[in-house]
Amino acid sequence: MASAIAQQAAALCTAQAPRQQTRSAAKAFVGAPVQRKQSILGRSIVQSSSKQQAAPRSSALKVYAIRDGATLDRPLRVAVIGGGPSGACCAESLAKGGVEAFLIERKMDNCKPCGGAIPICMVEEFDLPMEIIDRRVTKMKMISPSNREVDVGKTLNDKEWIGMCRREVFDDFLRKRATKLGANLVNGLYMGMDVGADTITIRYNEYKEGDKVGTPTTLDVDLVIGADGANSRVAKDIDAGEYDYAIAFQERIRIPEDKMEYYKDLAEMYVGDDVSPDFYGWVFPKYDHVAVGTGTVVNKTAIKQYQQATRDRAKVKTEGGQIIRVEAHPIPEHPRPRRVKGRVTLVGDAAGYVTKCSGEGIYFAAKSGRMAGEAIVKYSEGGKKMTGERALRDYLDEFDRKYWATYKVLDILQKVFYRSNPAREAFVEMCESNYVQKMTFDSYLYKTVVPGTPLDDVKLLVNTVGSLLRANALRSADSKSVNVSFGSKSNAEKVTAAA
Amino acid sequence: MPVTMASLSSVSARTSPSPAVAPRRVVCASAPSDNGAGSSATLQKDRKPSPLQRGGTLQGAAAAGKDASDKFKSMAEGKQRSGPVLQMVDGRFSDFRWTGGRWDLSLFRDPKTGGTSWDAVIDAEMARRKLLEDSPIACTNEDPVLFDTAEIPWWAWVRRFHLPEAEKLNGRAAMVGYVLALGVDQLTGVGLLDQQNSFFGKVLLHVAVFGILLIRSSSDVDRFKGLIDEAFYYDKQWQSTWEGQERPSSDK
């Protein structure tokens, strides 16, 4: 009898829960206090939210057979899905710390479409050898919609450069290093996972030597790190949520020697409504060819038009070139809503750690992989104890705190300067100043938000406002850039506004 | 008269002769200096007028309009004074005032004051940007664009763009303020001048002035709502992982 009443009460609660859940979830999203009313047998009980109240998806309700902190009789087992920079650096940190790491990569010679630019701090932090860096870019040109060119890079000394590398070479080096340190490299395609009481079972198709079709295999592990990139399967499996992403499209063009000489250590960035409504077009030198490309978030269907416009702008400088490869890839715009669930977390592009304005992702992917690995090693005390969500949340918190300022500053730059053609003209005009160049490169190359001197900052602010005002004054009344508006509209509205 | 011939050739070697300016070089004039009609006004006292200034030569406004046509004037001076205006020729931006990647300010002379007509420069740059926005052209190393809008002085921008807007806004503020003052007078009986002493009157005055400054037209209200939403959107996206969960650093 009592159990029947309890069942009815439970049914009542769950019936009311969905509608209230969405409302309270919305309120919690903006930080307002949430009050849940549950009526059991006609009586209202108001529960105020506290830190201990479990959201439906949190792991506080989940009971594990082996609890966090329990000593293990075998080393901790972690599966890292995806062998790119984030996965390889995660596996390396795990292996160095004594944890048994399984690095599952589907294509060992994968050449991920990428700009391939790495900052100099990455070379030091990750002990990268000079052999994997094809070129050292020391000059950068920014070209405004009215073809005003500015040489950015005047303030670099001869020890500072941006490294351009081939992703297949770079990824391969990192994976081999992780394997040398003790990670188990597996050539396989991740298919899914089953979360059990005490282990997580990974299902994957293993590609043995020379096999075209993989054989389905399983692997039992304690934690899973999803490092499988922008189209992450692990993210789907843990219900991490969707994110906005840009589509980056690039053509690799082999140009004649004399034209290649111009791009020997120079990269170009083109901004303009014709090239992209919210990103930039680029010409980056690779080892014996250049990559010409562009990207967009709001108007992905028109990417070919933007690519054509970028090719046209660089037409004279890449004349006589042959296209050797055409490639495209999504780039996340912001992190996924939920980056951890139980004993599974995401790193790198799978988590969405790509900056705005510059679209840089390699460094943050590698750093997040390393941080996740180190957090697991720390909480498991070298693989001896079980660990779980606590360690993963610690990694997320550390990463968020450390790089939040960088991400926010780049977001503000994107919102202010990529908004319209006048704003882009002002941006290029601002980049002429030595102070701006120094600040930009210091923060890009060393990944710290450099404060700078107060007087110069005030001058910079005044000059920025002046540039923006002048550029906006110079747009004519019937220009397309007139109808600029604010707001985080949905993509569909943004496309109709941009068209 | 070899000396006079030499002096004539030295005068013609100067580019852009201007009748109003006295000749810089002292030209040895061996002929007696009897001042012809209208030639003495601009000469310095200690310099004898040159043969080109005397003998019925007209100066200044009286000589205006007596030049050969623009085409031959530019050919003689070696500088273009006319030509294509704001056009795309062969995939390049072409305008006779645009040389070396910047606007040649000497070709924007204001006929009334003799200085540069900044409004014309601003118009030309606006038109150039519109033209390039509508039909973008390739960026070449041979024709770099070097014009910086900071070359135009700040007061030209203020006069052209800020002052008309300020006039409009001040007009609106005055109208709104006056109506509010009338309303306050009707409601409280306090006269227009006495309102300046009351706190409520001062508050309304400030509200009217700053309100009109920020919300210049009705479309601005929607824009500002969107701005606040946009300013914090990225923050929300980053914090959504922590929604409903405790964050380790919040304990410290």
Q: Could you write out the three-class secondary structure of A155-212? A: CCCCCCCEEEECHHHHHHHHHHHHHHCCCEEEEEEEEEEEECCCCEEEEEEECCCCCC
Q: Does A157 touch chain B (CB under 8 A)?
A: no
Taking only Cα atoms into account, the Rg of chain B, rounded to an integer number of angstroms, comes to: 32
CB contact under 8 A, A55 and B244: yes
Q: Does B249 touch chain A (CB under 8 A)?
A: yes
Q: Does B9 touch chain A (CB under 8 A)?
A: no
Closest chain B residue to the Cα of A403, Cα to Cα: B238
Asked if residue B79 has pLDDT above 50, the reply is yes
Q: Which residues pair with A267 in a beta bridge?
A: A140
pLDDT at A184: 95
Output the six-digit token pair for A165.
């590398």
Reported confidence tier of residue B80, pLDDT bands at 50, 70, 90? low
CB contact under 8 A, B237 and A335: yes
pLDDT at B30: 42
Share of chain B above pLDDT 90, in %: 2
CB contact under 8 A, A29 and B236: yes
C-alpha distance from B45 to closest chain A C-alpha (Å): 48
CB contact under 8 A, B226 and A393: no
CB contact under 8 A, B241 and A339: yes
Alpha carbon B124 to chain centroid, angstroms:
10
Is A85 within 8 Å of A174 (Cβ atoms)? yes
DSSP state at residue B197? T
pLDDT at B26: 43
pLDDT at B40: 46
AA identity, residue A287: Y
CA–CA separation, A395 vs A420, rounded Å?
37
The residues in A 16-55 lying below 8 A from B, measured between CB atoms, are: 25, 28-30, 49, 51, 53, 55
CB contact under 8 A, B244 and A481: no
Q: Does A96 touch chain B (CB under 8 A)?
A: no
pLDDT at A485: 60
Asked if residue B10 has pLDDT above 80, the reply is no
AA identity, residue A253: I
Residues from chain A contacting residue B140 (CB–CB below 8 Å):
316-317
CB contact under 8 A, B125 and A408: no
Q: Which positions of chain A have pLDDT values less than 70?
A: 1-63, 477-499
Helix, strand, coil percentages for chain A (3-state, nearest 5): 40, 25, 35
Parallel/antiparallel/unpaired status of strands A215-221 and A100-105: unpaired
pLDDT digit string, tens, across residues A7-58:
444 444 444 444 555 555 555 444 444 444 444 444 444 444 444 444 444 4
Q: Tell me the CA distances in angstroms from A9 to A36, A47, A54, B151, one per residue in order.
A: 15, 16, 19, 76
CA–CA separation, B226 vs A493, rounded Å?
13
What is the average pLDDT value for chain B, to the nearest integer?
75
pLDDT digit string, tens, across residues B221-252:
777 777 888 888 888 889 888 887 778 776 55
From the list A370, A351, A353, A373, the residue with the least C-alpha distance to A362 is A353
CB contact under 8 A, A313 and B146: no
Q: Answer whether 0.90 is exceeded by the pTM.
A: no
Chain A and chain B share a number of CB contacts under 8 A equal to 156
pLDDT at A482: 54
Asked if residue B211 has pLDDT above 60, the reply is yes
Is A97 within 8 Å of A382 (Cβ atoms)? yes
Crossing angle, helix A454-473 and helix A434-446, to 10 degrees? Answer: 110
The residues in A 348-407 lying below 8 A from B, measured between CB atoms, are: 356, 393-394, 396-397, 400-401, 404, 407
Q: Does B127 touch chain A (CB under 8 A)?
A: yes
